[in-house]
A and B are shown apart, each in its own frame.
Chain A
Amino acid sequence: MKPTRRQLLYGSGAAALGAALSPFAWDAVKPKKPIPGAIVGANSAFGHRLREGAFPPPIDSGQHEVIIVGSGIAGLSAAYNLDKAGVTDIRLLELEDHSGGNAHSGHNAVSAYPWGAHYVPLLSSESGHIKELFRDFGIITGEDKGLPVYNEDYILNDPDERLFIDGRWQEGLLPTLGVTAEDQVQYKRFLAHMEAFKIERGRDGRRLFAIPIDESSADAETRALDRLTMKNWMLSAGYTSEPLHGFVDYGCRDDFGVRHDEISAYAGIHYFAGRDGKAANTAPDSVLTWPEGNGFLAHKLAAPLSNRIISGALVYSVRETSGGVTVDYWDGHTSRRLTARAVIMAAPRFIAGRLMPELAAPGFTYAPWVVANLTLDKLPEGRGADLAWDNVIKDSPTLGYVVATHQIPQMQPLRTVITYYWPLTHAAPAEARKEALARSYEDWQRLFLSELYRVHPELVGQVRHMDVWLWGHAMIRPVPGFIWGEPRQAALKQTPPVFTAHSDMSGISIFEEAYTHGLKAAQAVRAFLA
């Protein structure tokens, strides 16, 4: 069988990248001295200690009302909401040296920049509970004609996205260059189809695709979409256009780290149809973003909690006892034991299951990602369309890059930081993870720079610094059957005094889901404590 173009392109991310620049070309442009930087990020070596076990006996280190294991958005949300409700004797245990999880960010002399999640869409009609938070944070500043007014500083500036195709840039991500009339017809039909899904409600009066996902309609025929792959659903619905498939595949890799031929059609459609938010002062498809990405939200959530977050804490045992729950953790030197009346496991399920076998959930798989932040002495240019926030390169295994200084209203920043996102979808997650962990900083530099220089030859010699972050288990993978299947439903059950909160319980890794699970866990804990 002749391989299709798609198979060739995604057959191997590394191969595709390698082919982008022949070794000869790479030799011509490769920096004379390696660009300073390092592989930073998720402390996998520390985390892997958990597998080895054998920790010294713990020292009793006190008692609290609630212990939260993990300080990603779900853990921070739980703590923030407990604190707000007056449950203040809480501790968050964090493996890393910072809180925020996937919403982590960094900063240097040029700009703040994201290390992971970097935007939130306008709040959906089911996200009323997040509105209050956004008001507290100054993200929503008022209301006009029944619609929220969002802070103009945080609404994504124009131009939002551009696509590099056939050697030049175009505005927007749906290819317009070199596509047929049939492609255009299918684009239109597909987008109209998604718009219809956006407002369609089931027999129970709920939207078919809601955010949070558990607010969606229970209609069986919609949930049946969860058993198909997105690609097969598209083909069955008559969508055959190759550029349209490329666009949808891009969206799936972007939001879930899963290719469209591997993802549940329910999840794929949810990406396009879930976001029905409206605002008084911007278009419905706008999003909210910050130079540091969702690090803005993580910092705001963590601000009132800072003295109660214990970082560098490797939790290795969580056990129910007659008096509540004991949590043992190792801080790199000493093992410590905390006791609490309730525990919220706000870590991903693959970790929670390791700590408490009853939480184990083998059906949960996670997508590995690599993120690179590049500090540039010059803004990227390009023919055809101005530099945008999101700059996507067609047929690249990476997702392209986001410009950290985009929201700064300065006319022309002279330097910037760009964030490259690369979901490792070319192989099975475990395999891709292993391959990524084996790569050296120089390997990553070569991969990212050859990708950058291919599109931006003007940036040769202009990259001042580069850091790479490996996310071994970045996002839950909503493969067919996962969202409405048994394992996820089972994972939603709370078993006091141990509660759970994580976006993987939704099957989609977005801020709203993580925040909602944190909020719900906080409410459940309060009810339990009362």
Chain B
Amino acid sequence: MQRLLLISVFVIATCGLIYELIAGTLASYLLGDSITQFSTIIGTYLFAMGIGSWASAKVDKNLLAFFIRIEILVGLIGGSSAAILFLLFDQVASFRFLLYFIVTVIGILVGIEIPILLRILKDRYEFKDLVSRVFTFDYIGALFASILFPLVLVPHLGLIRSSFMFGTFNVLVALWLLYSLKEPQPWVRLHKIAAGLVLIILTFGFISSDKITSLSESNNFAGHVIFAKSTPYQRIIVTRQQNDIRLYLNSNLQFSSQDEYRYHEALVHPVMSALKAPKNILIIGGGDGLALREILKYPSVGHVTLVDLDPAMTKLFSSSPMLRKLNTDSLHSPKLKIVNADAFMWLKQQRANPPIFDAVFIDLPDPSNFSIGKLYSTAFYGLLHSVMGPDSLAVIQSTSPLVARQSFWCVNNTLRASGFQTAPYHALVPAFGDWGYVIASNRPYTVPTQYPAGLRFIDADTARDMFSFPPDMGPVATKIQRLDDQALIHYFDEEWSKYLIY
């Protein structure tokens, strides 16, 4: 029994440190700034252990049963902590609160473990031997955990699976103790059942970790995957590396927080600043709320309708504190109406009594397949016409004119074939490359010379330059993107596949 209890010290010490490391790592993945996250997590954790040690004195009866209960609880909460934090990332209003709450609970439980163990063992060893043995195993366990964590666990198991695995170790310690009790105790049966149940939960969690985020997927992205969700429409992934937050839809990069301001300022301001007092705005796509953030810089704006297919996108960007910070909470603007609908079908439904928008922003994924290609067709632009007045402006993100020159000009030419005048332009967005946009209008467009204060990228000079194209990106004749002949999809596929070889 003594030896068993000393081995338990080693196991619980390892587990305890692993939970701390997992919490610290997840915090720095999810919230960035690893120095702050690690030091506050370690501080909170140690402090909570102190609370646990203090509280351990209140326990007097049946110390062994109590210790076993603590083990089962640590196993359950510590073991599922990573999965809980990951899954609740977009669900709770204050993620930080949840994080420190869980860390505190685990810390308290872990803090109770050693003092109780010392007291269980106090009659079997001399005091000096007891303290020396227990703390020796404690520190060896800590060393073991700190080496295992970065070298084996994170790269080969991932955080969620590691956490479930160490949870099962805690529970196994409890079960081992239960089964090695010589004299039968009345409380043993219930404890065995509880331990068994928790073991099943943790094993199930371990097996289904891949559903939460697969390790192979984590390895495909530059940063750490901090949010992953498969919706009926797409796979949404948010990654973070230091302060760079990135959104991927079906593995295609949608923005990097490092330079998205360039992309979104270039998308929004050449249109918004060219209008006298734009009131009624339509955004198609753009569920991240970033284009909206720029649009709301104009006080004349009264109503914004945002049509995004996937409710999971607008929910994510309106609930995660980290992402709300990025879009300055634009998705909670009282001026905003979110419509989770298919843009084509929604525009079609408006045909009977079409609202007129002063500005329309079409911020859709690139035309990489026939489904999304419909939203780049003459038929779609025909519907766009019906919600625009004579002075309205629309802008369409149109892939890279450098990488996919034909694709870019195909969007431009399709807009022209749909009866629009066009003003194509481009801006350098390092995460994407040299990126293209096309403004569609019913009257000739003039580049504005005045912009709102405080923009980081767009000013009169930058804006003017965006409308000139060097020879390697200049206009080319292309086919027109039609529903019955999606030329753009073929251009796009050909041009980008060539580019990605290098």
Q: In the complex, A281 Cα to B375 Cα: how many Å?
A: 18
Q: Which residues of B contact A286 (CB under 8 A)?
A: 484
Q: In the complex, A286 Cα to B484 Cα: how many Å?
A: 8
Q: Which of B436-492 contact A (CB under 8 A)?
A: 482-486, 489
Say if the beta carbon of B101 comes within 8 Å of chain A.
no
Q: Are A282 and B345 in contact (CB under 8 A)?
A: no
Say if the beta carbon of B353 comes within 8 Å of chain A.
no
Say if the beta carbon of A370 comes within 8 Å of chain B.
no
Q: Which of A154-180 contact B (CB under 8 A)?
A: 155-159
Q: Which residues of B contact A155 (CB under 8 A)?
A: 483-484
B486's partner among A152, A159, A387, A409 (CB-CB below 8 A) is A159
A414's partner among B232, B343, B375 (CB-CB below 8 A) is B232
Q: Are A412 and B345 in contact (CB under 8 A)?
A: no
Q: Are A159 and B344 in contact (CB under 8 A)?
A: no
Q: Which residues of A contact B343 (CB under 8 A)?
A: 411
Q: Are A152 and B483 in contact (CB under 8 A)?
A: yes
Q: In the complex, A172 Cα to B226 Cα: how many Å?
A: 41
Q: Which residues of A contact B380 (CB under 8 A)?
A: 409
Number of interface residues of A (CB under 8 A): 18
Q: Which of A418-466 contact B (CB under 8 A)?
A: none
Say if the beta carbon of A219 comes within 8 Å of chain B.
no
Q: Are B344 and A157 in contact (CB under 8 A)?
A: no
Given contacts A152-B379, A386-B369, contact A411 B374 (CB under 8 A): yes
Say if the beta carbon of B259 comes within 8 Å of chain A.
no
Query: Nearest Cβ distance between residue A291 and chain B, in whole angstroms?
Result: 14
Q: Which residues of A contact B348 (CB under 8 A)?
A: 409
Say if the beta carbon of A410 comes within 8 Å of chain B.
yes
Q: Are A410 and B485 in contact (CB under 8 A)?
A: no
Q: Which residues of B contact A157 (CB under 8 A)?
A: 374, 483-484
Q: In the complex, A387 Cα to B371 Cα: how many Å?
A: 9
Q: Nearest CB to that of B380 among chain A residues? A: A409
Q: Nearest CB to that of A414 among chain B residues? A: B232
Say if the beta carbon of A85 comes within 8 Å of chain B.
no
Q: Nearest CB to that of B483 among chain A residues? A: A157
A411's partner among B372, B483, B485 (CB-CB below 8 A) is B372
Given contacts A282-B484, A283-B484, A411-B375, contact A158 B370 (CB under 8 A): yes
Q: In the complex, A282 Cα to B345 Cα: how many Å?
A: 22
Query: Nearest Cβ distance between residue A284 and chain B, in whole angstroms?
Result: 12
Q: Nearest CB to that of B343 among chain A residues? A: A411
Q: Are A386 and B370 in contact (CB under 8 A)?
A: yes
Q: Nearest CB to that of A415 among chain B residues? A: B232
B485's partner among A282, A409, A412, A414 (CB-CB below 8 A) is A282
Q: Are B484 and A410 in contact (CB under 8 A)?
A: no
Q: In the complex, A246 Cα to B19 Cα: how many Å?
A: 63
Q: Which residues of A contact B483 (CB under 8 A)?
A: 152, 155, 157-158, 409
Say if the beta carbon of B233 comes within 8 Å of chain A.
yes
Q: Are A156 and B484 in contact (CB under 8 A)?
A: yes
The 7 A-B pairs at the shortest CB distance, nearest first, are namely A158-B486, A409-B344, A155-B484, A386-B370, A410-B342, A157-B483, A411-B371
23 A-B pairs within 8 Å (CB atoms) are namely: A152-B379, A152-B482, A155-B483, A156-B484, A157-B374, A157-B483, A158-B373, A158-B483, A158-B484, A158-B489, A159-B370, A281-B482, A283-B484, A283-B485, A386-B370, A409-B348, A410-B344, A411-B343, A411-B344, A411-B375, A412-B232, A412-B233, A414-B232
